[in-house]
Structure 1
Amino acid sequence: MKQADDSRAALCLQFLRDIAVHNNREWFHEHREEYDAARAAFESMVAELIARITVFDPAVQYLGVGDCTYRFYRDTRFSPDKSPYKRHFGAYINAKGKKAFQGGYYFHLEPENCMLAGGSYCLPSDVLRAVRQSVCEQPEEFHAIVGSDPFHTLFPVIGETHVKTVPKGFPKDFPYPEYIRCKDYSCFHPVPESFFTSADWLERSAEVFQVMKPFLDFVNAAIDEAV
């Protein structure tokens, strides 16, 4: 018998579609019960994901859901978009904490923009330089990780943003310039909404994150030495 699909993500996504259309405090307060139900569904998924990642990364076993999730209310002080609520649910499962320079695993639910991602973002210049230097000193080890078929299939691009040329102070003839042109060491795997509504989403997510782990280990080792 086919296992029933997981309805929790569908509940979350429907609420997110609604809040995208009615992103105002009056509608939100009138539909607070729907938000609470969606939030509870998402948090139960996060709890299961933490437990499943612990199987191959025991460092996250002490994290609670609250350590990994964010407020749904947007900080609009410096944004031209004054809508008060986010249009997604996200969880960052990072053994060092959500604000750490070291990288972790990111789980993102958003209509038409679901993903599994991870890595290190917004690194200070000295820490970013340290990671780049580590890549330069161990190019074949890094390439063996990110150039492997499983990793490259899931995460074909390293970094969300890049400088145009090899950074100053690094060899111009470095054999893998794309690895040191990154302005962040992150990776992204977009998935359809049906990925998270399927009955096997948890195992499939764990498989993606397990492929990511050696990349995180490499980057985090460099960051640990720099901070």
Structure 2
Amino acid sequence: MLPNSIYKYLIDLRKNNNRDWFHANKAQYNQAKKDFELFVELSIQQIKHIDPSVTGNNAKDCVFRIFRDVRFSNDKRPYKTNFGAFIARGGRKSRYGGYYIHIEPEQCFLGGGCYMPEAKILKAIREEIYHHPEEFKSIVENSQFVNHYPELYGEKLKTAPRGYPKDFEHIQLLNYKHYAVSKAISDDIVTSDKFPLAIHEAFEILHPLNQFLNDIIEDL
């Protein structure tokens, strides 16, 4: 189960998102971070039975920092109000498709794939889908997949990407800026002993999409 220390800390941080409170409660943060890293270590062991490519990762490679980059943001709150981890070959900075765990009271979700891929990767994914649309559709239109992930994540181009015909039958599959998905998970599930099973089910369904994406990325 996800330790209660994580939720408690994030709820408190949401109410007190400032540096003075953060430093005065550093011990509470350190405990919550340690507990989350242990949970991620256990999740990595679980996921590698689904996708062996994540073997070799440890939690510190995968967990995101809690500090926000506020340099170009109107929102100057210094800290994220979530713990997150991206489990993929190479860890959180990987260019490969992977598996994401997001813990935030009332806003938890599981997801993955390729979020904000670099231009070269995005072009290669579109090219593969253009030439093999049925293979991609067999993954994202599979009934089990749709039950967990009804649609791909994020905004889409309003017109066909440059270099592709507007009358291509499956042009909507090329318009995505991300090839990623997400699935909301209730607090009741996250804080129960059912959460590991929810992770296994969600990521087992996600694996074929990551395999499709990573086969493309490996060839670049």
TM-score of the superposed pair, with normalisation by structure 1: 0.91
2:91 aligned counterpart, secondary structure: coil
Q: Distance in 1 between matches of 2:99 and 2:2?
A: 23
116, 120, 139: which one aligns with 1:122 = 116
Q: Is the 1:116–1:191 contact (alpha carbons within 8 Å) kept by the matching residues of 2?
A: yes
Aligned to 1:225: 219
User: Counterparts of 1:78-93 in structure 2 under 5 Å?
Assistant: 78-93=72-87
Counterpart in 1 of 2:61?
A: 67
**Runs in 1 of length 4+ with deviation above 6 angstroms?**
none
Match of 2:201 in 1: 207
Q: How far, CA to CA, are the matches of 2:2 and 2:44 in structure 1?
A: 19
1:154, CA displacement in angstroms?
Answer: 0.8
For 1:124 and 1:46, locate their aligned partners in 2 and report how far apart those are by CA, in whole Å: 26
The match for 1:112 is 106
- Residue 182 of structure 1: CA displacement? 0.3
Query: Who is 1:167 aligned against?
Result: 161
Contact 2:54–2:87 (CA under 8 A) maintained in structure 1:
yes
Q: Aligned partner of 2:128: which letter?
A: S
Q: Secondary structure at the match of 1:118?
A: strand
Shift of 1:7: 5.2
Q: Secondary structure at the match of 1:98?
A: helix
What does residue 3 of structure 1 align with?
Answer: none
1:186 maps to which residue? 180
Look up the match of 2:28.
34
Query: Quick one: structure 1 residues 178 and 50, their matched pair in 2 at CA, closer, same or farther if it must change by over 3 Å?
Result: same
Structure 2 gaps of 5+ residues are none
Structure 2 residue identity aligned to 1:159: Y
CA contact (8 A) 2:64 2:92 kept: no
Moved more, 202-211 or 31-40: 31-40
Mapped to 2, the partners of 1:7 and 1:63 lie a distance apart of 20
Measure the CA separation in 2 of the matches of 1:159 and 1:144.
18
RMSD: 1.5
Q: After superposition, what is the alpha-carbon deviation per residue over 1:118-176, rounded to whole angstroms, capped at 9, x for unaligned?
A: 01122232321110110111111111111001111111111312101221222323333
Give the equivalent residue in structure 1 for 2:135: 141
Q: Secondary structure at the match of 2:22?
A: helix
Q: TM-score, normalised by structure 2?
A: 0.94
Q: How many percent identity over aligned positions? A: 36
Give me the whole-angstrom Cα distance separating, in 2, the residues matched to 1:32 and 1:56: 36
Distance 2:160 2:2 in 1: 47
Distance 1:97 1:39 in 2: 17
Find the aligned partners of 1:154 and 1:173 in 2 and give their Cα distance: 30
The answer on 1:58 being equivalent to 2:63 is no
Give the aligned length.
220
Give the whole-Å Cα distance in 1 for the aligned partners of 2:153 and 2:174.
10
Which residue of 176, 190, 204 corresponds with 1:196? Answer: 190
The answer to whether the Cα contact below 8 Å between 1:12 and 1:41 also exists between their aligned partners in 2 is: yes
Counterpart of 1:184 in structure 2: which amino acid?
Answer: H
CA contact (8 A) 2:85 2:92 kept: no
- 87-96 or 162-171, which deviates more: 162-171
